[in-house]
Amino acid sequence: MKLPKSQITWPNAWLLSASSLAIAAFPLAAEAQETAKQDTIIVTGVAMPVAEEKVGQTITVFTRELIEDQGYNFVPDVLRQAPGAAVSQMGAPGALTQVRIRGAEANHTLVLLDGIDISSPDQNETDFSTLTTSGLDRIEFLRGPQSGLYGSNALAGVVNLVSRRELDGHYVSASAEVGSFETSDIEASAGIGNGDAFASLSFNRLISEGYDTSPDQTANGVPAVGVGGVVGDEEGTAITTINGRAGTKLSDALRVNGVVRYMTAESELDGQAYGFPIAGRTYDDASRTNHEQLVIGASATLDPWAGAWETVASVSYVDGSRRNRLTDFPFLIGPPVPTPDQLLQVPVYTSGTDSSRFTAALKSTYTFGGESFLNVLTGFAEHEEETYEDAFTTREEERTLSAVGLQYRAEIASQLYLSATVRHDDNDAFKNADTWSASAAWVVPDLGTRLHGSIGTGVTNPTFIEQFGFDPSTFIGNASLVPEEAIGWDAGIEQTLLDGGLTLDLTYFSSELENEIFTAFLLGFLTTALNSTSDSDRSGWEFTVYADPSDDISIYGTFTQLEASEPAGIEIRRPEQTASLDASWSVFGGPVQLNLGVSYTGESYDTDFGTFARTRVDPWTLVRLGASWEVSDTLEVYGRVENLLDEEYEEVIGYFGAPRALYVGLRFRDEASK
């Protein structure tokens, strides 16, 4: 299996010396060409699809082959292997999972499905725990401020989930997997295309009984809490995902496309106390959450002059529903401590939201010039309407925004690639925003060297909850909030050596955040949201490597060094160092393949809710070992062990990470291209 050279993950320290090797070995690369980058078409960060080597921003592409080989069932598991990403999960699969890019906040990461914003409209953030890899063709991970093209929430970067389709051929696949924690994972997908029309459909049902995520069976003598609470209960999850995609040519100049995704997730949780007598500790209870989301998108593309002038009109609709059932924890003031019988009678309260986002967009691209100086000019306009409703009160809110923008790209002498984007957002509920970005990539002829860099600004709008509050009413909304703003840049050098068998990339990045929105504590246990008057700084570097020493071996690795701070100190849940490895070996070119995945998370800090102080979190390393056997051209048997070393770790203080687990499965594939 050979993957694009941007998918590089390798944590070993000796590779740090490879950057000097790259400089010394330039003559070795005179004949090396990055054919994989030329063949990989990027759709994220650009108004029109373009070859990866022409993109000045820092981007990583994870293909379906890598995801299947390594057994990554969840999107956040894939992103643990990406440079610049920090993943934090509150215990078992199904618990809140966040991804922070280059030290930014979790809601500064924009998540797209085939270009559609699928963040929850009520929170303007995506809970990655609901995202499985089913039906995906690849994941594009773009880092750096991208609001010039995408508007709000692309302050730190973009994760674009690209669903699978077959334009000219067919595919059928099915898999069944079982394993630890009474886990079962069933997936089926199919697609067909004849060059003019295509259709694809996928279904995935993942169920896990989970494990007890609370480190303490009891805390200070306090057993399970709340109606239905059981000491030592397991936190399980069930996620169903359906993806559909279709399109057809209505004429030589007109094409229509559509996409639909339905997801429902139900997860069991452990509660967490904030007061006497088990302040900051998690406890066993009957807490659970349900989340449903429907995504629908459609587009029409008019291309009357064979790509010289292309116009795309699109609409999308995202509808989300969230219901929470949480224990009404009784300890806030002090003694006496309730008896165990009294604790088990503590009532639960329900909360929830219904929200939606409708988006209409128009994009028109004019291409002119020749091979020596090609120009691509794109104008775009967007209108968005969002609604928010508290499911258990009469509170309903809505807001709209309209945006216009322009992107210019130039390709000069088939080696220098420039891009610049500007955008204006007109918001009816808060301050307007102007954002921009610029990037450059230079493929140095005959040296196998590519220089790349980008700079841009980003914004993240206040959420509905931050503006208007929610139930319970202890959180007070703040209608005076303004968007968070950031400016960031990166610069790097990529070097291909040994006739394309080795590719190295070293990138430095830096950004500054203003008007950060934070939670302020008021009298009487009341809280609200405020804009910070101080700035936060984030900087560091990413080193990536791709090695393809033979036709049978592929190795990808990354190492990230991060410094993220605010006036109060080091930012929480941002490890100073992360590293990872993905390696595959088709044993002597035969039907058996061995796969190794390693993810290292260095020392970080988190909030101890017992003292509300920043507390050190120890580093940990997760090792995944797998094997597969191609019984025939269409049938494959596979298995893997996750957390092979049975490491004990907490990504979030108070919630255990998953112990060692074993999974086995069977996969059927039949595909052909015309």
Segment 423-436, tens digit of pLDDT: 999 999 889 999 99
pLDDT for position 545: 96
- The residue type at 347: P
Question: Quick one: pLDDT at residue 37?
Answer: 56
Among 147-161, 273-287, 457-471, the minimum mean pLDDT is found in 273-287
Q: Would you call 534 exposed, middle or buried from its count of C-beta atoms within 10 A (0-12, 13-18, 19+)?
A: exposed
Which residues, listed in sequence order, are joined to residue 272 by a DSSP beta bridge?
282
pLDDT-based confidence at residue 42 (cuts at 50, 70, 90):
confident
For residue 306, the tally of other CB atoms under 10 A from its CB is 9
pLDDT band, residue 330 (cuts 50/70/90):
low
Q: Residue 203: name the closest of 235, 248, 159, 164 by CA.
A: 164
Q: How far is the C-alpha of 645 from the C-alpha of 661, rounded, in Å?
A: 10
Whether pTM > 0.75 for this model: the answer is yes
Burial profile 582-599: b = 16 or more Cβ within 10 angstroms, e = fewer: bbbbbeeeeeebebbbbb
Residue 252: partners with Cβ closer than 8 Å, 6 or more residues away: none
Amino acid 332: pLDDT? 58
Residue 6's alpha-carbon distances to 25, 83, 202, in angstroms, are: 20, 10, 27
Q: Which residue has the higher pLDDT, 609 or 162?
A: 162
Q: What is the pLDDT of residue 450?
A: 97
Amino acid 484: pLDDT: 95
> Given this model, what pLDDT does residue 19 score?
33
What is the pLDDT averaged over residues 173-192? 96
pLDDT exceeds cutoff 80 at 35: no
Angle among Cα 271, 275, 277 to the nearest 5 degrees reads 95
Size of the chain in residues = 674
Lowest mean pLDDT of 302-316, 420-434, 471-485, 545-559, name the range.
Answer: 471-485
Distances (CA, A) of 20 to 23, 506, 508: 5, 11, 16
Give me the DSSP letters along 36-94.
Answer: HHHHPEE-SSSSS-EEGGG--SEEEEEEHHHHHHHT--BHHHHHTTSTTEEEEE-SSTT
Q: What is the pLDDT of residue 123?
A: 83
Residue 286 has pLDDT above 50, yes or no: yes
pLDDT, residue 221, reads 64
Whether the per-residue pLDDT at 24 is higher than 50: the answer is no
pLDDT(45) > 70: yes
Domain boundaries of the chain, sorted by first residue: 13-673
Residue 4 reports pLDDT greater than 80:
no
- Looking at residue 30, its pLDDT comes to 31
Which region among 4-13, 29-38, 375-384 has the lowest average model confidence (pLDDT)? Answer: 4-13
* pLDDT exceeds 80 at position 7: no
Model confidence at 236, pLDDT cuts 50, 70, 90, reads: very high
Average pLDDT over residues 306-330: 90
pLDDT of 23 = 29
pLDDT in tens, 204-234: 999 999 999 887 655 556 778 888 888 888 9
Closest CA to 73 of 57, 97, 54: 97
CATH number corresponding to 13-673:
2.40.170.20
pLDDT of residue 394: 74
pLDDT of res. 472:
58
Answer whether residue 281 shows pLDDT above 80: no
User: 199 - beta bridge partners?
Assistant: 192, 246
Q: Are 639 and 141 in contact (CB under 8 A)?
A: no
Q: pLDDT, tens digit, for every residue of 534-567?
A: 999 999 999 999 999 999 999 999 999 999 988 8
pLDDT above 50: residue 608: yes
Mean pLDDT for 257-274 is 91
Identify which of 309, 333, 175 has the alpha carbon closest to the alpha carbon of residue 253: 309
**What is the mean predicted confidence (pLDDT) over 281-308?**
92
pLDDT of residue 55: 95
pLDDT for residue 32: 33
Measured CA to CA, the distance from residue 546 to residue 403 in angstroms comes to 39
Q: Is the pLDDT of residue 351 over 90?
A: no
Average pLDDT score, the chain? 88
What tens digit of pLDDT does each residue of 62-92 get? 999 999 999 999 999 999 999 999 999 998 8
The 10s digit of each residue's pLDDT in 567-607 is: 877 889 999 999 999 999 999 999 999 999 999 999 999 98
Mean pLDDT of 7-36: 34
Six-digit token string for 504: 């190295």
> One-letter amino acid identity for 490?
D
